[in-house]
Each structure stands twice: as structure tokens, then as C-alpha cells.
Structure 1
Amino acid sequence: MAQSKSAKLRQQLVQSHQPQRIARRLSQGPGNSYLRDFIYGAIDGLITTFAIVAGVAGAGLSVSVVVVLGLANLLADGFSMGASNFLGVRADNQRIEKTRRQEHLEVELYPEGEREEIRQIFAAKGFSGAQLEDIVATITDDKKLWVDTMLQDEHGFSLQQASPLKAGLATLSAFVLLGALPLLPFLLGLVGVDLAHPYRFSLVLTFVGFALVGAAKGRQVGSSAWISALETLAIGGAAAGLAYWVGALISGL
């Protein structure tokens, strides 16, 4: 069974590593993943919305108050999260471009020093002698490659910049979609579907949301969906428990 799986994987690798396919893949460049941005928004949306539900439950306020505060949180806090992520990613990109301009300037003003940096970078990777000098000559013969190498190896930057707009939208959409789960039992009450214990249903849906986000993350990163779901559930559940405790504390005031 293991050999069959290995043979199938090898066949897939042979097909995907044909020269034409490699050239096409490399010409397209690496893609960006917005999984982190989605998880960031989803977890925050679930926690903050459930915190409102738990707080209102603890204070003994009406269902309409839950809905109003919950929807206000989804719109205002969701937009705030998306905008913050947009600005954060944009700032990262601007920092990379600033460093790129600085490296271009340094190459123009003092190429000998920048050439020595390239030499030491690749010497640290194990190259030496004529081979090292060939690498240095090849890289420093192309200013774009030269600066790109400095950005990656000296400053630790990625050359593939994320889209601030896509990152912000991923966070906003995840916040609203997952953050709406704790509100569903109360929204159903407004359209005539009365649940005996809406707060309990809200708690269950919140934990389901944590598990779904964790399972999705596990599948995306190639780890166990069950383990990832339990991990996210444990972390999110701790935050939800804190939110409920705060709500109970409010009730006692």
C-alpha cells in the first residue's frame, strides 16, 4: 500500500517536473496565501461576537440588545480589522520598497562594499574559491538580481509582496461570516423561530466555528484536520470561556 502510494506520488512528480511545466510554473511566480489573514479575522470575529453575547447574557439584557450590539460589532469591528490588516500589509510592502531603494543607492555609491557583502553571504552558504567568485560576478553583473539577493539574504524579505486589498478583504469577510455564527440563534428569534435556549445554541455554534476554522487550516497546511481543529477549539474555547466569565462578572455588579 505504501509502495503504491509512493509510486503514484513519483508519477505525479515526473509529470509536474517536465521542462515545459517547470518553465510555465516559474514564469508565473509564487502565489500569495491569505490563509493567515482569513484565520485572523475568523477567530477574532467568533471571539468578539461571542463576548458580546456572553456579556449581554450575563447582564440579563434582552435579545434585541444582543442583536443590535452583535451586528454593530460585525460591521464596525470587522471593518476596523480589515482596514488595520490592509494598512499593516501596505506598510510591510512600503518598507520593502524603501529598503530596495536604499540598496540600489548603496550599489551605485559603493559597489565594492556591496560586492563584498554578496561574497560573504555565499561564503557562509559553503561556496569558496573560483566557484564563489563566479557566483559573485554573475549576481553583481545584474543590478536587479543583485538588489533582490540583498533583500532576501541580508534583510530577510520576501520578493513576493502580498496584496493589501486582498489581505484586508480576507480578514473582513472571515470576521463577518464566522462572527455571525454566535448571533444566528438570536437572528432566528427575530424572524419567528424561537429557540428555548438561544445562548446555549450560540455557544455550540461558536465552538463549531472554531473547529471548522481549525480543520480548514489543517487541510491547507497539510497537517491533521482533527488535531488542528482541536488546537483551534482549545485556544478559541479558552477565549470564549474568558468572555463568558466577564459576562457573569457584569451580572454580579
Structure 2
Amino acid sequence: MPTAPSGTGAPPPSPADVRRWRRYLAEERAEAALYTRLAAKRQGEEREILFALAEAEGRHAAHWVGLLGDDVGRPLRPSVRSRLLIRLAGRFGSVFVLALAQRAEARSAYADDEHATAAMAADERIHEEVVRSLAERGRARMSGTFRAAVFGMNDGLVSNLALVLGIGASGVDNATIMLTGIAGLLAGALSMGAGEFVSVRSQRELLEASNPSPTAHTALPDLDVNANELALVYRARGMPESEARAKAEERIATYSGDRSSDRSDARDHEEIGSAWGAALSSFCFFASGAIIPVLPYLFGLTGLAAVVVAAGLVGIALMLTGATVGILSGAAPLSRALRQLAIGWGAAAATYVLGLLFGTTVG
């Protein structure tokens, strides 16, 4: 029979309370292990933040141990989700794991549980924001290449499925469908790769053109302190006049001949990503997506069977990519997966109907 925590004088908890507290304890210990494993994959400030999160989860676990008292029993296994996150954190430690951890923190039930302290409920809300910020750093680092990869995969899936089904519905033979699909794969992958390269390179060049001139600082020693034309530079960058004048005076007074104080004015291009990385990712992912609707025809399927298998394989891939984007963006993965599926199948259905109509007209 459940017993009251020693020294509290409170009535003994109900069996339902004990079960719930033990689940909370298992999850808190799992979250502490998760953040500890993620910290082991990080360096510097991120490592310290993750260890601090693990320490906070340890305090929460101690709260439930205190309430349970003699009823703490053998440790329960955490949920399947928590065990999977710990395993992924140990192997990868990626932004994907942080995004999943962010969603887990958002589902905390402490705000509605009278046995959880207000501080614990507040901690969980803040933990969600901390993990969101850590995940955002990772998203920023991978944004250019990841964007190209996702767009490339989805474009390959949808465009080549639509092309293959549209051509197939017109009544041509399998050899023509396969040739069309492979041609669409190569043409699309090359086009996507070239487009991403030009897009990212152009974006970087535009931002580089907005960076301070590398030689402008050499004029500082000769500027008239009273007139101080440097204030105009800061005003042109959007500062109010008084703030611009104060910054300019400080800049001249502390000028030492190097450009270290100008670094804060330079724009960071890292989150744009590499042009070659974006191009290669786009090419490879478009090709990997575009080959899927061709597979049934490569294995000898024909007619309606080939159409159903191609649409089914592409549907699975669309849902996986949609769910992945949803997880990484902190949104519900199922809704994103279904949205991707509806868009892809909608486009393919439209071209399939057009192919049927074209085949009927020609016949």
C-alpha cells in the first residue's frame, strides 16, 4: 500500500498518484540522460547549456523521488520516444534530436499537476525555449544545404511522378516511359543543381557587397573630429543621429590601426550555406527522388499496377520528407506529411488525367 513521504505528515498518495509520479521520474531521468549525451557531442557554450539542462532535469527527478518515498520502487523504463531520442543523441547529437526534444518539452503536464511545483512548470516552459534556441543555431548552420536537399527531393518526386504518369497514361510502351523518366531525372537534377549554385552564390555576393569596405578604416586617423563624417556612415546604416555621433566619436577615440572593431559590422554569411554544397545536395536529392517513380517500370511492371506502385512509393517518400521538415521546424509532423502528400498526388493526378485525355484524342 502506498505510504506518505517521510516527514511530510501528508496522507498517503493514491495508487494512481504513485503510478503517475513514477512515470514522471522515469521521463525526468531520461531527459537528463538525453541532454548529457547531447552535451558530449558539443563544445563550448552549447555544451555548458546542455549540461545545465541535464542538471535541472535531475532536480525535477529528485522532487518525484522525495514524494514517492518508499514507493519509488525499481526504475521504470521511459517512453519509447525518450529511449529513441537517447539512442539518437548518442549516435548523432544532431539538430534533428534537438527539434524532437523541443516538442517533448512543449508537452509537459506539470502546469496542470498539483503535485508539481510552480517552479518546475516554469522550468519546463523555459527549457522549451532554450532547446528551441539551440535547435535554431543548428537550423541556421544547415539552412542553405538542407533547403536545397528538401526542395530537390520533393521536386524530383513530384515532377518525375507527374511526367512518368502523364506519359504512361497516353498509351506509350514501357521503354518510352523509362526513357522519359530517366531523361526527366537528368535534366531536372542538372537544372536544380545549377539553379541552386547560382542562387546561393548570388545571395552571398549581394551580402558581401553590403559589408564595410576593407580599406575604409584607414581614413579614421585623418577625420575631422568635430565634423566627424564617420557619423554619417552609422546614420546611413539606420542609427539615430545622436547614437551615430556617439559611436563615431568612440570609434575614432579607440582606433588602434586594426579592423577588429569592424567585425561586428560585417554580415555573417555562414547561414546561407556553400554554393557548391547546395548545388550538390540539390542534384543528388532531386535524382534520388526522381528515380522512385521510374522503379516500377524498371522492374517490368506495366499499366495500372505500375501506376499504383509508383504513386505509393512516391507517397511514402513525400510523407517522410514532409514529416522531417515538420520535426525540424518544430511543427506537427503528421500535418506536414499529409500536406506534402496532397500536393504531390494532386499534381500527379492532374497530369495523369491529361495523359489519358491526350491518349484518347490521339487514338
Instruction: Please state which band the TM-score falls in when normalised by the shorter chain.
Output: 0.7 to 0.9
- Determine which of 235, 249, 263 is the counterpart of 1:116: 235
In the alignment, the residues of structure 1 paired with residue 323 and residue 241 of structure 2 have an alpha-carbon distance, to the nearest angstrom, of 41
* SS of 2:299 mapped into structure 1: helix
Specify the alignment match of 2:147 in structure 1: 36
- Determine which of 192, 196, 202 is the counterpart of 1:91: 202
Deviation at 1:138, TM superposition (A): 6.7
- Supply the AA of the counterpart residue of 1:235: I
Deviation at 1:219, TM superposition (A): 2.8
Specify the alignment match of 2:311 in structure 1: 203
- Give the conservation status (yes or no) of the 8 Å contact 2:323–2:337: yes
- Determine which of 158, 162, 167 is the counterpart of 1:47: 158
Deviation at 1:37, TM superposition (A): 0.7
TM-score (norm 1): 0.73
Specify the alignment match of 1:56 in structure 2: 167
- Which runs of structure 2 are paired with 1:176-215 in the superposition (5 Å)? 176-189=287-300, 197-215=305-323
**Superposition CA RMSD, Å:** 3.9
- Which runs of structure 2 are paired with 1:112-191 in the superposition (5 Å)? 112-117=231-236, 120=239, 133=246, 137=250, 143=259, 145-146=261-262, 148-149=264-265, 152=267, 158=269, 160-189=271-300
Q: Which moved more, 1:104-113 or 1:168-177?
A: 104-113
Structure 1 gap ranges (5+): none
The 1:235–1:195 alpha-carbon spacing in structure 2 relative to 1, beyond 3 Å, is closer
Deviation at 1:201, TM superposition (A): 1.0
Q: Deviations over 1:53-77 (max 9, x none)?
A: 1222221000110101101111122
Specify the alignment match of 2:192 in structure 1: 81
The 1:71–1:41 alpha-carbon spacing in structure 2 relative to 1, beyond 3 Å, is same
Q: Deviations over 1:115-148 (max 9, x none)?
A: 335682799xxxx8xxx95798479957465464
**Which of the two has higher C-alpha Rg?**
2
Q: Which has the higher contact order (CA 8 A, sep 6+)?
A: 1
Identity of aligned residues (%): 24
Specify the alignment match of 2:352 in structure 1: 244
In the alignment, the residues of structure 2 paired with residue 232 and residue 216 of structure 1 have an alpha-carbon distance, to the nearest angstrom, of 11
In the alignment, the residues of structure 1 paired with residue 344 and residue 241 of structure 2 have an alpha-carbon distance, to the nearest angstrom, of 44
* SS of 1:177 mapped into structure 2: helix
In the alignment, the residues of structure 2 paired with residue 202 and residue 172 of structure 1 have an alpha-carbon distance, to the nearest angstrom, of 21
Q: Which moved more, 1:196-205 or 1:4-13?
A: 4-13
- Determine which of 178, 181, 186 is the counterpart of 1:70: 181
In the alignment, the residues of structure 1 paired with residue 208 and residue 239 of structure 2 have an alpha-carbon distance, to the nearest angstrom, of 24
Which structure: greater helix fraction? 1
TM-score (norm 2): 0.53
Deviation at 1:8, TM superposition (A): 6.5
- Determine which of 44, 49, 52 is the counterpart of 1:21: 44
The 1:161–1:143 alpha-carbon spacing in structure 2 relative to 1, beyond 3 Å, is farther
- Supply the AA of the counterpart residue of 1:213: T
- Determine which of 220, 224, 240 is the counterpart of 2:332: 224
Q: Which moved more, 1:243-252 or 1:69-78?
A: 243-252
Deviation at 1:225, TM superposition (A): 2.3
The 1:112–1:229 alpha-carbon spacing in structure 2 relative to 1, beyond 3 Å, is same
Q: Which moved more, 1:111-120 or 1:90-99?
A: 111-120
In the alignment, the residues of structure 2 paired with residue 214 and residue 230 of structure 1 have an alpha-carbon distance, to the nearest angstrom, of 8
- Give the conservation status (yes or no) of the 8 Å contact 1:55–1:246: yes
Structure 2 gap ranges (5+): 1-22, 49-137, 220-228
- Give the conservation status (yes or no) of the 8 Å contact 2:178–2:298: yes
